[in-house]
Chain A
Amino acid sequence: MDTLLKTKDLTINFGGLLAVNKVNCEMNNEVLGLIGPNGSGKTTFLNLISGIYNATDGEIEFQGRNITKLQASDIRSIGIARTFQTNRLCLKLTVLDNMLLGLFSKQQIRWWETIFNQKKHHLELRVNIDKCLHVLSYFNEELVEQKYELIDTIPLIDRRRIEIARALVSDPALLLLDEPTAGLNPQETHSIVEDLKKIREKTGISMIFIEHDMGVISTIADRVVVLNAGQIIAEGSFAEVSKNEEVRSAYLGS
């Protein structure tokens, strides 16, 4: 049970384009940095793991269980949560409602119980709201005050935080982060990275981290995997990878 996530010859074929091509990857409890040039298949790799795409070939194993064929919703329920590169929160919902969505899979109440058993509904809701606010306050105390504000009115940095909080609120074992710092200035980037580091220390959660900023990768990633044209071209510590000739020519451009 040491291996948290394992992919075996993972492949997806988009009408002839092998966006991810026979990727064999293993990770334990660690922070894995996923880097590579644009179009190298990083996001597709996350989409495969999180069940948005179905693999053409190959297998994904999570905690010893084959999850290749599972739907996105089931994958969230068994403990893999993710964020999106373009920050996909529900804009027409409030901060708190977005957070509660993250807890959807952890809620037990059935639909008829929400109609006929209001007591249970309120009880569960109360616990959930406390949990959501607790996670939010961890990132930014102000967000707790803004819980009834629409996402529309929230600045980008806080939206990033809310999206990560929404993923964390269901206590996943693995967090997939798709460029959580895209579009942020250096200070904001620093603050998000510090938050993530603290969470890692506190909860021991594993992460796969797609990032373009090598500074960020070098500070947070225990190990780095480099993708190019859908294939892993190198893996190892950041120091090792950054010395690799193939990586330098494909990606670092020096």
Chain B
Amino acid sequence: MTDRQTHLQNTGKFVAPLGVLIFFAAMALAITMNLWTTLAVVVVLTALLIFGEKRGFVETAYKMVEKNYKITVAVFVAALLLFPIALRGNSYFLHILVIAGIYAMVALGLNFQIGSMGQVNFAPAAMFGIGAYTSAMVSVHYGASPWLGMIAAVIVTAGMGVVFGFPALKTRGFYFSLVTIAVQTIFVLLVVNTDWLGGPNGIPGIPAFSLFGRSLKQTGNLFGMLLPYQINYIYLTFFLLILLIIVARRLYTSRFGLAWNAIEEDEIVAATQGINLTKLKLLSFSIGSVFAGIAGSIYAHYTSFIGTEDFDFNKSLILICMVLLGGMDNPVGVTLGAVLLTVIDEKLRVFADYRMLMYSVILIVVLVVRAQGLLPKRNRTYPGTEEG
């Protein structure tokens, strides 16, 4: 072990957790302060990342985290648990966190297509919607538990992923994108015109999740502190989100993640390496759809009302923005992008007219200036499998 590595290991024990704490402080600032503070946080973060990349600090930071993985994760989880409690005074801030978590899940699912396979799917919001509607219908019309609704959402979205994946098999590039745009449009039109699904009025009165006989919509009480019900949903969302990040990371380092990357670069080469394009594409689609389905289910049982405006083409575009801004094919980056954009979006509510303009400008600027996103994809390394 070289001096430098030892040094990293020693200082990293403190620096890495400290970095996590600073990150949370910055996020708290971004969520609680006004739009300009949020934008300042994003700008500082971007500047740090770009500058840090040039000087190699980002690589060092990654190494520090890797060498001190356990303590960093422990601090991260502790901070994540305490974070909502610290913000408990304002349930709107907590609401932003729940929504951020939900969008992060959909964005992670979308990343399997855009980030890994380089195929732009314009229908993530439709999948998100299918999950939400399935879950809502199961619990509203059939009176089943919302958890059953979530399971139903997973099954239906997995199936839908395969169904919609099929046209995608025969096409790529623009044709593929047109297929997904068609799917997205058909979804909204069908729902609006189907009375059984609430039509243009949406579905109101969706029951909340309950756990151990306690509804997640009940306010909590911890050592005399009043905890708004959103905190329950934050924990649920964060728990599932972390599980999904782990799933995404494991797939990324597996032969499947590698095969998706190969398909992105050159389908013919991928096929001659023994990669079954059909299976791999359908896999990317169904897994991505299931992520969106889980997120949709939580969304339905959190907001208790869903309508097609939550799942339209613009929402799909925002989700694509999240993946691109965060960093394609980097689960942590995608999550970061989703959280940042959700926060900015909420802060922009006052300027509702400018929202879509802002997204389109962000998209173009990211593409021109930094197409790899805030946290670019990293080359796979396989620590622990080398000799010595």
| Contact B254 A129, beta carbon cutoff 8 Å | no
| Contact B277 A73, beta carbon cutoff 8 Å | yes
Q: How far is the CB of A209 from chain B (nearest CB, A)?
A: 17
The answer to whether A92 has its CB under 8 Å from any CB of chain B is yes
Query: What is the 8 Å Cβ interface bit string for chain A, positions 45-71, against chain B (1 contact, 0 not)?
Result: 000001110000000000000000001
9-residue interface stretch from A111-119, A215-223, A224-232, A242-250: A111-119
CB neighbours of B250 from chain A (8 A): 114-115, 118, 121
Q: How far is the CB of A11 from chain B (nearest CB, A)?
A: 21
Q: How far is the CB of B378 from chain A (nearest CB, A)?
A: 10
The answer to whether B2 has its CB under 8 Å from any CB of chain A is no
9-residue interface stretch from A18-26, A33-41, A97-105, A190-198: A97-105
- Picked from A105, A129, A148, A166, the residue with its CB within 8 Å of the CB of B379 is A148
CB neighbours of A91 from chain B (8 A): 265
CB neighbours of B379 from chain A (8 A): 93-94, 97, 148, 150
Q: Which residue of the partner chain A has the closest CB to B283?
A: A111
Query: What is the 8 Å Cβ interface bit string for chain A, positions 125-167, against chain B (1 contact, 0 not)?
Result: 1100100000000000000000010100000000000000010
- Picked from A52, A102, A107, A111, the residue with its CB within 8 Å of the CB of B251 is A111
- The size bracket of the interface on A is 35 or more
The answer to whether A122 has its CB under 8 Å from any CB of chain B is yes
CB neighbours of B259 from chain A (8 A): 101, 104
Q: How far, in whole Å, are A81 and B271 apart by their CA atoms in the complex?
A: 11
Q: Which of B332-388 contact A (CB under 8 A)?
A: 379-382, 384-386
CB neighbours of B277 from chain A (8 A): 73
Number of A-B contacts defined by CB within 8 Å:
108
Q: Which of B290-318 contact A (CB under 8 A)?
A: none
The answer to whether A109 has its CB under 8 Å from any CB of chain B is yes
The answer to whether B213 has its CB under 8 Å from any CB of chain A is no
Q: How far, in whole Å, are A91 and B262 apart by their CA atoms in the complex?
A: 10
Interface of A is mostly: helix
The answer to whether B256 has its CB under 8 Å from any CB of chain A is yes
The answer to whether B87 has its CB under 8 Å from any CB of chain A is no
Q: How far is the CB of B170 from chain A (nearest CB, A)?
A: 14
Interface of B is mostly: helix
Q: How far is the CB of B182 from chain A (nearest CB, A)?
A: 27
- Picked from A50, A72, A104, A122, the residue with its CB within 8 Å of the CB of B385 is A122
CB neighbours of B274 from chain A (8 A): 73-74, 76-77, 104-106, 170
The answer to whether A238 has its CB under 8 Å from any CB of chain B is no
The answer to whether A202 has its CB under 8 Å from any CB of chain B is no
CB neighbours of B283 from chain A (8 A): 111
| Contact A101 B381, beta carbon cutoff 8 Å | no
The answer to whether B273 has its CB under 8 Å from any CB of chain A is yes
| Contact A72 B261, beta carbon cutoff 8 Å | no
Q: A111-B283, A148-B381 are in contact. Are A97 and B258 (CB under 8 A)?
A: yes
The answer to whether A177 has its CB under 8 Å from any CB of chain B is no
| Contact A126 B266, beta carbon cutoff 8 Å | no
The answer to whether A82 has its CB under 8 Å from any CB of chain B is yes
| Contact B254 A93, beta carbon cutoff 8 Å | no
CB neighbours of B269 from chain A (8 A): 84, 88-90
List B residues at the A interface (Cβ < 8 Å): 247, 250-251, 253-256, 258-259, 261-262, 264-266, 268-277, 283, 287, 379-382, 384-386
Q: Can you show 16 pairs from A to B with CB atoms below 8 A apart?
A: A71-B271, A71-B276, A73-B271, A73-B275, A74-B274, A89-B269, A93-B265, A109-B255, A111-B251, A114-B254, A114-B256, A118-B250, A121-B250, A125-B382, A129-B382, A148-B381
Beyond known contacts A72-B271, A74-B274, A84-B269: 13 more, CB 8 A cutoff: A51-B271, A72-B268, A73-B272, A73-B277, A82-B272, A90-B262, A92-B265, A93-B265, A111-B256, A114-B253, A115-B251, A121-B250, A125-B382
